[in-house]
Amino acid sequence: MIVCVAVVGHQNNPLYIQSFTDADDALKLHHIVHCSLDVVDERVNNPKKSGPTLNETFLGLLYPTENYKVYGYLTNTKVKFILVTTDLDVRDADVRNFFRRFHAAYVDAVSNPFHVPGKKITSKTFAETVSTIVKSFGLSSAG
């Protein structure tokens, strides 16, 4: 289950952060997202030659914690997407697929002429799309 997704701007400013848990642990999840930004920077500045193809947008597993796995994605425009999940055996393809759909939703949201670049995404449509994508995450592998 995905517990948190976040969009972070190129100056590490939060553009959208949403947790999907009933428990009151938003702060903890925000902290995890915050920590993951350092890992993203590290990945980008010292790309591993052996790892996934150089300069791919999908950054893979950023770091595992005791209860969560954190995945990252960096667009060409230096916007970061962070995904925090509780599933411990996640298939890479699922995560890639999630990020692809999430990216499409993000592009649609920022293409709104009323959206101010660099400001938080307040679009309701975006929030709805994201929650649909989050709900459908991992279903393909289960079914």
Partner 1 sequence: MAREVSESCVDSLLTEMVSTYCNRFYANKPDLAARSIEAIGYQVGHQLSERYTMDRPRFSDHLEAIKFICKDFWSELFKKQIDNLKTNHRGTFVLQDSQFRWLSRVSVDLSENGDVSQDNPEATAENKAAQVTSMHLYFPCGIIRGALSNLGIPCAVSADISNLPACELLALFAN
Contacts with partner 1, residue ranges (CB under 8 A)? 10, 53-57, 74-78, 103-104, 107, 110-111, 113, 117
Dihedral over Cα of 11, 64, 73, 8: its sign: negative
* Closest to partner 1 by CB, 70 or 110: 110
Q: Per-residue b/e over 27-66, b at no fewer than 16 CB within 10 Å?
A: ebbbebbeebbebbeebeeeeeeeeeeeeeebbeebeeee
Shortest distance (Å) from residue 125 CB to partner 1 = 16
* Closest to partner 1 by CB, 31 or 108: 108
Q: Tokens 């709104």, residue?
A: 112
H helix runs in 46-136, sequence order: 92-110, 124-135
Shortest distance (Å) from residue 132 CB to partner 1 = 17
* Closest to partner 1 by CB, 29 or 74: 74
Q: Tokens 């969009």, residue?
A: 7
Shortest distance (Å) from residue 133 CB to partner 1 = 15
Shortest distance (Å) from residue 126 CB to partner 1 = 14
